[in-house]
C-alpha cells in the first residue's frame, strides 16, 4: 500500500488506524525529506507546497496532525491555521517555521497550534513531538474491540476469548488493545513502547517480550491456538485467517 503522497495526490484509500498527516511546506526538499521520514515511521503522509492548496485539502480530508510552515505562497500559514480553527479544534497542528521570535510563537499557539518548532530542526525531535501529540490517538471511541473470538472492553478494561474472561495485567491489556486496533499490520516493539509503555522504556530490556509471552499463553489457553503472530523484523500482529 502507498502511504506517501507527493503534492497532494491521493493514490490509495487510507488504511484504518494508521495516523494520517499533512505536511505543508513551500521548500520542496524539506517537505519531501520530512514526508519520507514520517512515512518510514509508519504514518500516511500527504504533502502540499502552497497555503491555498493546503486549505482546500484540509477542508476535504481528515487529518490527525498537520505540520505547518508559516511562510507559504498562496496563503500565510498563520492565516491557514486560523481558518482551520474556525471549524476544527481536533486536528493537531505543529508549526515548523523559521520565525523564531517569542511573539511569533505566542501568536501561533494562541491561534490554536498545539506545538511550535523552530527551524533549523532535527528530524528525530520532530518525530518525537509528533509522537507526543498523537500518542492518545490510538485509543478508540468504540467501547468494544472485537476480532473473531477475541474481544476487549475498552471501558471496563476486560478481555474475553470465546466469550470467556481472560485475566490480564494492565500492560497485557494495553498490548491486546493496541494489537486489536491495528488489525492487519505488524506492530513493532518500538511502537508498543510509544503507545503502551512510558517513553523511558528500553526496547532491549526484554520487558515487552515477557508481557507478550504471558499474553499469548493466556489467550492460547482459552482459544486452543496462539492468536498472536511474531513476524521477524516487523513486529507482532493478531493472526488473521490467511495467516493460520
| Domain ranges for the chain | 4-138, 144-243
> Which pLDDT does position 7 carry in this prediction?
41
Give the predicted TM-score (pTM) of the model: 0.54
Which fold, 4-138? Answer: Rossmann fold (3.40.50)
Question: Cα–Cα distances in Å, from 85 out to 90, 91, 92, 93, 112?
Answer: 9, 9, 10, 10, 7
> Which pLDDT does position 141 carry in this prediction?
52
CATH number, domain 144-243, options 3.40.630.30, 1.10.10.10, 3.30.1280.10, 1.20.1630.10: 1.10.10.10
For residue range 35-55, list pLDDT tens digits in order.
Answer: 999 988 888 999 999 999 999
Which residues of the chain carry a pLDDT beneath 70? 1-17, 136-142, 198-205, 241-244
- The rounded percent of the chain whose pLDDT value lies above 70 is 84
CA distance 159 to 165: 6
Where in the chain does DSSP place strands (E)?
Answer: 4-5, 20-24, 44-48, 65-68, 92-97, 115-118, 144-147, 150-153, 158-161, 164-166, 228-231, 235-238
Amino acid at each position: 500500500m502507498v502511504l506517501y503522497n507527493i503534492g497532494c495526490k491521493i493514490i490509495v484509500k487510507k488504511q484504518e488506524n494508521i495516523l494520517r498527516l499533512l505536511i505543508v511546506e513551500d521548500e520542496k526538499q524539506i517537505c519531501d525529506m520530512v514526508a519520507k521520514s514520517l512515512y518510514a515511521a509508519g504514518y500516511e503522509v500527504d504533502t502540499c507546497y502552497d497555503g491555498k492548496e493546503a486549505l482546500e485539502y484540509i477542508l476535504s480530508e481528515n487529518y490527525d496532525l498537520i505540520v505547518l510552515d508559516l511562510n507559504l505562497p498562496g496563503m500565510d500559514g498563520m492565516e491557514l491555521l486560523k481558518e482551520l480553527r474556525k471549524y476544527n479544534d481536533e486536528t493537531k497542528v505543529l508549526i515548523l517555521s523559521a520565525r523564531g521570535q517569542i511573539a511569533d510563537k505566542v501568536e501561533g499557539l494562541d491561534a490554536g497550534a498545539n506545538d511550535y518548532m523552530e527551524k533549523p530542526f532535527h528530524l528525530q525531535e520532530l518525530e518525537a513531538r509528533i509522537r507526543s501529540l498523537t500518542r492518545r490517538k490510538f485509543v478508540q471511541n468504540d467501547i468494544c474491540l472485537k476480532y473473531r473470538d477475541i474481544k476487549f472492553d475498552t471501558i471496563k478494561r476486560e478481555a474475553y476469548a470465546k466469550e470467556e474472561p481472560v485475566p490480564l495485567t494492565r500492560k497485557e491489556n494495553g498490548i491486546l488493545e493496541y494489537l486489536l486496533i491495528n488489525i492487519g499490520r505488524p506492530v513493532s516493539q518500538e511502537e508498543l513502547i510509544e503507545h503502551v509503555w512510558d517513553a523511558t522504556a528500553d526496547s532491549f530490556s526484554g520487558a515487552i517480550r515477557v508481557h507478550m509471552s504471558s499474553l499469548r499463553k493466556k489467550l492460547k489457553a482459552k482459544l486452543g491456538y496462539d492468536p498472536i503472530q511474531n513476524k521477524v523484523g516487523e513486529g507482532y500482529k493478531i493472526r488473521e485467517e490467511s495467516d493460520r
